[in-house]
Structure 1
Amino acid sequence: MHRPEDEPAPVIRRRRRLRTTVITVALGVVMFTVGAVGLSPNGSSTPDAPATASSASGPARGIAALRERVQRLPKDPVSWANLGMALVQQARTTADPATYAQAEAALRRSLTLQPAQNLHAEIGMGALAAARHQFRDALTWAEKAIATSPATPATYGVLADAHTQLGQYREAEEAVQKMADLRPDSSSLARASYVFELRGDTDQAKLLMERALRAAGTPGERAFAHTHLSSLALDSGDPTTALRQAQAGLAIAPRDAGLLEARAKAGATTDDREQAVADYTAAIAVAPLPQYLLGLGELQQSLGRQNQAEAQYAVLRAQETLRRATAAPADVDAIYFEADHGDPHQAVAMAETAVRERPFLAVHDAYAWALHRAGRNDEALHQADKALVLGTRSALFLYHRGAIHQALGDTTPARHDLSQALAADPTFHPLHAPAAREALRRIDDTTP
């Protein structure tokens, strides 16, 4: 039998635009082992699937065992690093800032015990920084880890994630290529899929993630792949496949927040909106991330349930108050929320800070939308162009740029972008998709 390890690595070549000469991919057994940011191109965070999908207590038991180990071996830097990395994984699942703090404490204890050439802790610190969206710090830790062990593939995963979120796409592709050259396993495969997704090549992105699903060696890896296959299908206007992928993942990991959101988004495009409400509610119970709160609020608003929508928006406002107290940059969903349901001028200020720290495609789009809502459309168009510079097939990004063109009186490009948004995904957003159709109708009514 032909083993995945015997297959050649994916080849990612970029000159002026991404080009591929070979897309034959090896399938390993670990997906996003460390350093995975878990982000979709729209910038939303996706918590990792549980380590054991059959029981939420599985990760807790693993962490308890690691805590017992560091008690027995308090001077072992590897044990402290392993505990820190496990806590990073748990924090991604629960979105609990206290768990991130515990992870950092464990990793720094490891570094105190072994300040130099501490590969496990350096990779862990890079993963922690990425999970906190501190991507410049993640880049620094990745470079330290590479200096410690230049032949360790996981270090290039952290490096690729950091470069991507810092808008350094050529460098990110080179890091993914290096990772695949060193070990063409599921982790490098998943990142290669993301490269193609950002470039708008969703067919190749799906192919790579489907191979990752077949290669997945644990329930968590399979759940992760189903989540992203659902997202790719929905972004391509295929809610039936998106729902099927989400259902398959939830059969493995019934309490995974990312999969619950995936099923909610797919269900919201069909007649099963009550199930979508229930799924969003369940996802929020696991991890109250802004994207879930905003998704549920806007779904409720689209259903005419303003009181229920306002209940979610109130939580988002409370989260924003806490964020300002910590001076952390806003995530894209917080910026979108402020632009659409709060103060657009405040959204612009939030976006200006965020884009300096994280000049990623989705942050440029959020900045563009905030500027548009604040009436600054010339500046907004510049940011919207940056959001689509790679050719990403995002209906939301296209709608935003189309609305900006329309506000500027640029009828032809407005019609093009709005049409492309609806062609990619006719139900891409419960509020904005109907707005896109109405905008096209007004253009058609006023154009000779």
Structure 2
Amino acid sequence: MAYVERARRTGGVTDYPRAERALRTSLRLRPGGNADALEGLTALAVARRDFRAAERWGEEAVRVAPGRWTSYALLIDAYDGLGRYKAARATRDRMLAVDSGPAARARAARVSWDQGRVRTRRRRSRTRRQPRPRRRARRPRGRRGGYGPGNWPGSGDAEQSLRYCEAGGSASAAGEPEAGACRARALVALGRTAEGVRAYRAALARRPSAEVALRLGELYESLGRPRETRKQWGVVRALVARSAAAGVDESLVLGTLEADHGDPAEAVRVLRAEWERQPGLRVADALGWALHRAGRDGEALRFARRATDRARGGEVRSGLRVSPGVIERAVGLEAAGRRHLEERGG
């Protein structure tokens, strides 16, 4: 578990094979009732985006030790990655029955947020020290349905998002590993792009991440800096290859890179294979966008609608790459497309 945590904090993916060897040795030495090893293998699989394995290990972990809320939290991640949203909500309820403390409630609130239940999420996560936002910031308009180049931090006030990100980075000596990239996204959303570039660079220096490197490249591109943009695509590909060697699935990042800055047909191939393995909302969203970029709008519309289907957990997830309205208008459904774009502020 120390290897998994170190990799999470530093981006040192070579720790993942070490973690796997240690955890499997633990299971071999104590094969019965070893909840620690089972939970560790679940955390490792989630970190690698291997949600099938995470589901298998997580279900065994909660069976062996049904009183550990942390195992339920990891199992929720597995179900979410597989598109099993009813199972994720049921597991959330089981988790809260075991532990209703602040950490468990925060994790439960994230389920509601990810699955489009914003009011529920705000009600669960609100405390006296977290006042209701006074206003909503205007979203930057961009080519992906009005959300900008992958840099919008989510629904709500960008200034408040910046405060939360900065609080996460200063909460401990090491800070939260995602706080730097979170801060960069918020700065860009506020139009403070020079500070955003510096924040992205600092975040990557502390913790290499293919996804964050991609966001920085998209920011360079939006600022009209072609040489830095091209260099950044090379950084993204190198980080994807490094992660793959350590067993980490970076198909979403690679597919996004190919769709927008490489070969859209290759993006479709990569993301369709990922959909067959792990049909989550993020994959549906990315595949819909890749199909759109490849000129296959009829297929793209099915996945874009899937990614925003309220009944299946979509619609208000942050960071969607494209609204169904963009594709609906491309296939001649002008009225429906206009309605969807108006609903999403595009």
Same fold (TM over 0.5): yes
What is aligned with 1:243? 162
- Counterpart residue identity of residue 304, structure 1: G
Residue 258 of structure 2 corresponds to residue 338 of structure 1: yes
What is aligned with 2:219? 299
What is aligned with 1:418? 341
Query: 1:404 is matched with which residue: 308, 327, 341?
Result: 327
The 1:172/1:411 distance shift into structure 2, 3 A limit, reads same
The 1:121/1:166 distance shift into structure 2, 3 A limit, reads same
Kindly report which structure 2 residues correspond to 1:167-206, keeping only aligned pairs within 5 A, or say none: 167-206=83-122
Scaled by the length of structure 2, the TM-score of the pair is 0.85
What is aligned with 1:278? 198
Contact 2:260 2:293 in 1 (8 A): yes
Kindly report which structure 2 residues correspond to 1:128-167, keeping only aligned pairs within 5 A, or say none: 128-167=44-83
- Counterpart residue identity of residue 261, structure 1: A
The runs of 5 or more residues in structure 2 that have no matched partner are: 131-151
Kindly report which structure 2 residues correspond to 1:357-368, keeping only aligned pairs within 5 A, or say none: 357-368=277-288
3-state SS of the aligned residue for 1:277? helix
Residue 303 of structure 2 corresponds to residue 383 of structure 1: yes
Alpha-carbon displacement from aligned partner over 1:14-54 (angstroms, at most 9, x marks no partner):
xxxxxxxxxxxxxxxxxxxxxxxxxxxxxxxxxxxxxxxxx
Residue 43 of structure 2 corresponds to residue 127 of structure 1: yes
The 1:260/1:295 distance shift into structure 2, 3 A limit, reads same
| RMSD, aligned CA | 2.5
Residue 285 of structure 2 corresponds to residue 373 of structure 1: no
3-state SS of the aligned residue for 2:105? helix
How far does residue 211 in structure 1 lie from its aligned partner after superposition? Answer: 4.2
CA distance in 1, matches of 2:23, 2:220: 42
Alpha-carbon displacement from aligned partner over 1:316-367 (angstroms, at most 9, x marks no partner):
2334455677886443232111100000000001101111222110100001
What is aligned with 2:125? 209
How far does residue 192 in structure 1 lie from its aligned partner after superposition? Answer: 1.5
CA distance in 2, matches of 1:101, 1:328: 10
Residue 98 of structure 2 corresponds to residue 98 of structure 1: no
How far does residue 118 in structure 1 lie from its aligned partner after superposition? Answer: 0.8
3-state SS of the aligned residue for 2:320? helix
The 1:212/1:372 distance shift into structure 2, 3 A limit, reads farther
CA distance in 1, matches of 2:270, 2:248: 10
What is aligned with 2:140? none
CA distance in 2, matches of 1:371, 1:276: 30
How far does residue 284 in structure 1 lie from its aligned partner after superposition? Answer: 0.9
The 1:119/1:93 distance shift into structure 2, 3 A limit, reads same
The 1:113/1:321 distance shift into structure 2, 3 A limit, reads closer
CA distance in 2, matches of 1:259, 1:404: 33
- Counterpart residue identity of residue 183, structure 2: R
The higher radius of gyration belongs to 1
How far does residue 129 in structure 1 lie from its aligned partner after superposition? Answer: 0.9
- Counterpart residue identity of residue 120, structure 2: Q
Alpha-carbon displacement from aligned partner over 1:48-80 (angstroms, at most 9, x marks no partner):
xxxxxxxxxxxxxxxxxxxxxxxxxxxxxxxxx
How far does residue 207 in structure 1 lie from its aligned partner after superposition? Answer: 3.7
How far does residue 206 in structure 1 lie from its aligned partner after superposition? Answer: 3.1
Contact 1:291 1:333 in 2 (8 A): yes
How far does residue 380 in structure 1 lie from its aligned partner after superposition? Answer: 0.6
Contact 2:304 2:323 in 1 (8 A): yes
Contact 1:369 1:400 in 2 (8 A): no
CA distance in 2, matches of 1:117, 1:212: 41
Scaled by the length of structure 1, the TM-score of the pair is 0.67
CA distance in 2, matches of 1:395, 1:149: 33
3-state SS of the aligned residue for 2:14? helix
Contact 2:153 2:318 in 1 (8 A): no
3-state SS of the aligned residue for 1:399? coil
Contact 1:200 1:391 in 2 (8 A): yes
Contact 1:398 1:417 in 2 (8 A): no
The 1:86/1:97 distance shift into structure 2, 3 A limit, reads same
- Counterpart residue identity of residue 414, structure 1: G
